[in-house]
Amino acid sequence: MSSGQYFADDPSVGSDPRPVEIALPDVAFTLTADRGVFSADHLDAGTKFLLLEAPPLTSADAMVLDLGCGWGPIACVAAARAPQAAVWAVDVNERARHLTELNAAAIGAAEQIRVATPESVPADVRFDRILSNPPIRIGKHALHDLMQCWLPRLTPNGCAHLVVQKHLGSDSLASWLRNNGYDVDRIKSRAGFRILEVRPEG
Ligand SMILES: C[S@@+](CC[C@H](N)C(=O)[O-])C[C@H]1O[C@@H](n2cnc3c(N)ncnc32)[C@H](O)[C@@H]1O
């Protein structure tokens, strides 16, 4: 893996922070992105689709995980929409974590958003909701390992909403998840993006 890829830890490309407008019907703020992280100068179309179309967070969503947070758009919007929730934002990319911390502070959610490396999330933490634009480009095996690592941390009534492009394998990921003990519904589909709703079976 080249160290310049967005999913590499500690990206070596030079830093060049830039503002990104988040303009959703219910949430608007300006966050900061940077080179060396995913979608370095705009809100990714798949992420926007997830933020617009995933079922709303409710008061039952006390613990929320943004898996692969990048510069933190999902974590920040989740925190704004669910002030009661503790939002964990996890990424292997150090610059991404730094940006998410910066963005959490910028929207007044520094206490609410817990930015962490994957290893530093305590093993007993469970999530009512996982929201993710997962890192498909890490490859199928690594993606499956990632799912095997985090989906078992859903609470019994919890669920994950994953946005995946059809041409990047949303259907094969859905099949793999079903074969590995999860209920999976494709709840939204538009412009090549799918939102998968994933629940522990039964
Ligand atoms: C498609 S990007 C989404 C970023 C951000 N959530 C967004 O929507 O703009 C996927 C993210 O997953 C991160 N990632 C890759 N491998 C990971 C792993 N094993 N654990 C956690 N995050 C990972 C990448 O660094 C990247 O920031």
**What's the CATH code of the domain at 76?**
3.40.50.150
Protein residue with least CA distance to atom 14, ligand 1: 68
Task: Fill in the DSSP letter of residue 202.
Answer: -
Length of the chain: 202
pTM over 0.85: yes
Residue 9 lies in a domain: no
Please identify, by atom number, the ligand 1 atom nearest to the C-alpha of residue 66: 6
Task: Fill in the DSSP letter of residue 84.
Answer: T
Residue 54 lies in a domain: yes
Average pLDDT over residues 161-165: 97
Does the pLDDT value for residue 9 go beyond 70? no
Residue 2 lies in a domain: no
Residue 98 lies in a domain: yes
Residue 95 lies in a domain: yes
Residue 1 lies in a domain: no
Residue 10 lies in a domain: no
Residue 86 lies in a domain: yes
Protein residue with least CA distance to atom 18, ligand 1: 92
Residues 57, 172: Cα–Cα separation, whole Å: 27
**Tally of domains in the chain:** 1
For ligand 1, residues with CB inside 6 Å are 6-7, 38-39, 44, 47, 68-70, 73-74, 90-93, 96, 118, 133, 135, 138, 146
Enumerate the β-bridge partners of residue 67.
90
Q: What is the pLDDT of residue 11?
A: 63
Does the pLDDT value for residue 2 go beyond 70? no
| 3-state SS assignment for residue 36 | coil
Does the pLDDT value for residue 24 go beyond 90? yes
Protein residue with least CA distance to atom 11, ligand 1: 68
Comparing 201 with 26, the larger pLDDT belongs to 26
Domain range enclosing 64 = 18-200
Helices (H) and strands (E) in the chain, counts: 5, 9
